[in-house]
Structure 1
């Protein structure tokens, strides 16, 4: 047997959003139905390096397929300035659940960007207006690109407003998509007035205080305790859907107001898996602002790795090596 080494280009080439979104939705469903195992995300804090490591293992049985894996990922905020490296790196080990053989080692950074975009698309499909056509994005980093690519797969997006403090990053984003969308830079308020809003920043002080009357918000940036992009009043007035209660209350968008007692379980409508399987309704005519609090789940990584591996094998992509010399 061989293990497949898949770099970022391989992951990108073998991950089409239309299929990935379906796989992520199946992962949410499997988790809700109790057909998945996902131990809590564990952290190793390294303040001396201004960073941390995160370990994310999972197994899921989606019915037609099952898969297992673990992602070893980090956030080191000084990486770019000191080492000319991305802030977030990552390695995904994708294993055969029947015998534990490591089928693939793949770039976890590209995988994370793809599956995070796909998770936002799943939530958008269930919680946004059916005729949503405008998308606002706060934060013009790498995740902004997959937010647009994924969300435009489930909604007919024609207008995009991108907001960031870095004008050069805004311009790069605009230049990338100018031939496909009516895209422009704008303020946070302008972005928040769109039909759909994705926030993808690492801030610890809320930057979005208001949104459109029926805006759906994908709160994607908060992935550690203390991070907080949306004002408490906005959250309290919204229909809040989370990806996982334990992770969200510890490190998601709701973690700060939840820890302070400003927001309680009564203010959380439910988990995305409950909506996916039909236990709870998605958007209704009575809904105003909806919020999807996404911390990023290990089952998403495993589902995405499954899609990548299957297509890489079909397309003869990647580099094979004999991991154990068997």
Structure 2
């Protein structure tokens, strides 16, 4: 028996093979499986590269017959220093039965798409029923995918409010999206608020967030990072993506460490909400989704990409055992 060759998939291959609708379906199913305890996901491993202003992370996972690992970085100064993305990734999808590599693919686009999908799924289950405005605190690359995913679920009627410390970045995003440039305060007052900054001090104040709003806190993904005034968390129903990751590196990590809030204030995980184990939105209370990014999302999406590549004959076959 000759094993199938490993498919090498570039970023352009992944872009051609992946739709946001397929990504949302795969990520939502992965959340549900995680909420039902049907996944394996060891803790994310961090390799701190303080001398270089960044870090590397290894993220292995298994879900529904698919196994793999993502090797991804976070180097916030890459665009300014080297004209490179601040986040880049590589994914290795493995046959769990034989351990043969099925595919080695770019995971930069995969990461951005699944992050956008996760936020939109959270807005679907936790947000207001008929949102009219979506505010972006941080108008960089990730904001584009957050908006694409929300439009895939809610349609094109959402008014886009773009804010960023860089006025040109906010202006470019507003122009692309048909939205308008606003202050961080005004963006924070939208029906759905998406934060995607590298902040280590709160940038969204409690007084700016209206009752009934939903916030996707996407930026805090390492210890010490924080985007929201902790008073927002105390006023909100807080839903996390994973207990170990969120309490160590998510939006809740600093308030928990400082004793400002307790674990008992956390409502549960988004997977539990999707699986029906926990209620989602109830009433007009603020809801917050604390996203750190799950390896089960990556492997679910990598499997979808690999299946599409085989169906369409895409990618470059390579025999690692030759």
What TM-score do you get using the length of structure 1 for normalisation? Answer: 0.94
Which residue in the other structure is 1:255 paired with? Answer: 253
Which residue in the other structure is 2:226 paired with? Answer: 228
Which residue in the other structure is 2:27 paired with? Answer: 24
Give the Cα separation in 2 of the matches to 1:48 and 1:18: 40
Give the Cα separation in 1 of the matches to 2:317 and 2:172: 35
Residue in structure 1 matching 2:300, options 298, 303, 326: 303
SS in 2 for 1:10: helix
Give the Cα separation in 1 of the matches to 2:212 and 2:109: 32
What TM-score do you get using the length of structure 2 for normalisation? Answer: 0.95
Which residue in the other structure is 2:122 paired with? Answer: 123
Residue in structure 2 matching 1:288, options 282, 285, 290: 285
Which residue in the other structure is 1:244 paired with? Answer: 242
| Runs of 5+ unmatched residues, structure 1 | none
Is contact 1:140-1:169 (8 Å) kept?
Answer: yes
1:319 and 2:316 matched:
yes
CA RMSD of aligned residues (A): 1.2
**C-alpha deviation, 1:322, in angstroms:** 1.6
Instruction: After superposition, give the CA deviation of every residue in 1:11-68 in whole Å (9 maximum; x if it has no partner).
Output: 122221222111111111111222110000011111111111101000011xxxx211
1:214 and 2:218 matched:
no
Is contact 2:131-2:158 (8 Å) kept?
Answer: no
Residue in structure 2 matching 1:39, options 42, 62, 70: 42
State how many pairs are aligned. 316
Report which stretch shifted further, 101-110 or 215-224.
101-110
**C-alpha deviation, 1:282, in angstroms:** 0.9
Is contact 1:239-1:287 (8 Å) kept?
Answer: no
Give the Cα separation in 1 of the matches to 2:81 and 2:203: 28
Give the Cα separation in 2 of the matches to 1:160 and 1:23: 26
Report which stretch shifted further, 149-158 or 246-255.
149-158
Is contact 2:58-2:71 (8 Å) kept?
Answer: yes
Give the Cα separation in 2 of the matches to 1:77 and 1:275: 32
Instruction: After superposition, give the CA deviation of every residue in 1:267-323 in whole Å (9 maximum; x if it has no partner).
Output: 111110110110111112x24210000000100110111111111221222222222
| Runs of 5+ unmatched residues, structure 2 | none
**C-alpha deviation, 1:263, in angstroms:** 0.9
**C-alpha deviation, 1:177, in angstroms:** 2.1
Give the Cα separation in 2 of the matches to 1:12 and 1:185: 28
Which residue in the other structure is 2:11 paired with? Answer: 8
Instruction: After superposition, give the CA deviation of every residue in 1:200-245 in whole Å (9 maximum; x if it has no partner).
Output: 0000010101312111000000000111000011111000000001
The runs of at least 4 aligned residues of structure 1 exceeding 6 Å deviation read none
